[in-house]
Amino acid sequence: MIEITEKEYELFQKLKTILKHSKAEQLEGVYFICGEGGEKDEMGLPEFISVCPAFGLDGFAYYKKHTEYSAPGW
């Protein structure tokens, strides 16, 4: 039996999410970003993104950015 650390498991979960949402057209019931709108900030992030709940649907929901980009101040 192979054991992994908690940090390796967290990384696995993040990579699984990235892969799943990058293949939305091949997987059932996976949401994906399908557009953007509004002004972009100095980091290139749009004010809104549109999210489709699953590939093949013709509707979407808008999500609005409510905080500016921030990074740790190491």
**Residue 60 banded pLDDT, cuts 50, 70, 90:** very high
pTM higher than 0.75 for the full model?
no
SS3 category, 36: strand
Q: State mean pLDDT over 14-36.
A: 90
Structural domain of residue 68, as residue ranges?
A: 28-74
**Residue 65 banded pLDDT, cuts 50, 70, 90:** very high
The token pair that represents 8 in the structure block: 């390796």
Instruction: Examine residue 34 and state whether it is found in any structural domain, yes or no.
Output: yes
Please report, in angstroms and rounded to a whole number, the separation of the first and last CA atoms in the chain: 38
Q: How far is CA 51 from the centre of its chain?
A: 9
Instruction: Examine residue 2 and state whether it is found in any structural domain, yes or no.
Output: no
Neighbours of 51 (CB within 10 A): 13
Instruction: Examine residue 70 and state whether it is found in any structural domain, yes or no.
Output: yes
| pLDDT given for residue 50 in this prediction | 96
Number of domains the chain is built from? 1
Q: Are strands 46-52 and 32-40 parallel, antiparallel or unpaired?
A: antiparallel
Instruction: Examine residue 17 and state whether it is found in any structural domain, yes or no.
Output: no
Instruction: Examine residue 40 and state whether it is found in any structural domain, yes or no.
Output: yes
